[in-house]
């Protein structure tokens, strides 16, 4: 059985180990989670862990970012990082983390969530290429189909398109993602 809950301080070392294992020993994702936790963009209710078979097997964070239109910026959210222990992958843990994160973000009144991810995986949760809605990402050199958005508030993408001053709106990840 998979149990999803809010991360606690006692989970931090286990979360680091999840990301290290999930990404083949690379420290980028565990360090990113640490930096986000210490930043103004951290939303504690959206830092989730998954327990399975009596151990912490997965972690996901949704944190603050900005959507920029010319000189105007509005708050939005990004999903990153997400990781599941290699021996626990393929059992639905990542999906459960994502679904619970989406539910919580909606309850908190958020309107959009962005991510950079596999175009064959995230659409099952409602994510679609952001460029199709006139939204771009300039900070990372990634293909258009991996930069995705999920509309939590019906009509939000249409509202943004109708009120946009510039040709494209740009997602801006906070400096926390680049330290």
d(CA 24, CA 22): 6
Provide the pLDDT for residue 167: 87
Q: pLDDT truncated to tens, each residue of the chain (179 aa)?
A: 999 999 999 999 999 999 999 999 999 999 999 999 999 999 999 999 999 999 999 999 999 999 999 889 999 999 999 999 999 999 999 999 999 999 999 999 999 999 999 999 999 999 999 999 999 999 999 999 999 999 999 999 999 999 998 889 999 999 999 98
d(CA 78, CA 133): 16
- Residue by residue, what is the 3-state secondary structure of the chain? CEEEEECCHHHHHHHHHHHHHHCCCCCHHHHHHHHHHCCCCCCHHHEEEEEECCEEEEEEEEEEEEEEECCEEEEEEEEEEEEECHHHCCCCHHHHHHHHHHHHHHHCCCCEEEEECCCCCHHHHCCEEHHHHCEEECCCCCCHHHEEEEECCCCHHHHHHHHCCCCCEEEECCHHHHC
Tokens of 159: 């509202």
Provide the pLDDT for residue 179: 80
- Please give the angle made by the CA atoms of 120, 122 and 125, to the nearest 5 degrees: 130
- Whether this model's pTM surpasses 0.75: yes
Provide the pLDDT for residue 94: 98
User: In this structure, what are the phi and psi dihedrals at residue 142, rounded to the nearest 5 degrees?
Assistant: -130, 150
Q: Which long-range contacts (CB under 8 A, 24 or more apart) does 159-163 make?
A: 160/67, 160/69, 160/133, 160/134, 160/135, 161/133, 161/134
Hey, which residues does 116 pair with through a beta bridge?
147
């Amino acid at each position: 059985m998979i149990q999803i809950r809010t991360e606690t301080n006692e989970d931090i070392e286990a979360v680091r180990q999840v990301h290290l294992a999930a990404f083949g020993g690379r420290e980028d994702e565990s360090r990113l989670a640490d930096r986000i936790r210490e930043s103004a963009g951290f939303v504690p209710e959206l830092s989730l862990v998954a327990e399975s078979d009596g151990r912490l097997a997965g972690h996901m964070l949704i944190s603050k970012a900005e959507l920029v239109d010319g000189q105007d910026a509005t708050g939005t959210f990004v999903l990153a990082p997400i990781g599941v222990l290699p021996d626990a992958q393929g059992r639905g843990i990542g999906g459960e983390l994502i679904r619970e994160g989406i539910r919580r973000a909606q309850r908190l009144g958020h309107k959009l969530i962005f991510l950079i991810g596999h175009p064959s995986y995230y659409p099952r949760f409602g994510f679609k290429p952001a460029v199709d809605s006139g939204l771009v990402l300039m900070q990372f050199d990634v293909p258009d189909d991996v930069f995705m958005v999920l509309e939590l508030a019906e009509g939000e993408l249409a509202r943004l398109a109708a009120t946009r001053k510039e040709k494209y709106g740009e997602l801006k990840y906070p400096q926390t993602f680049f330290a």
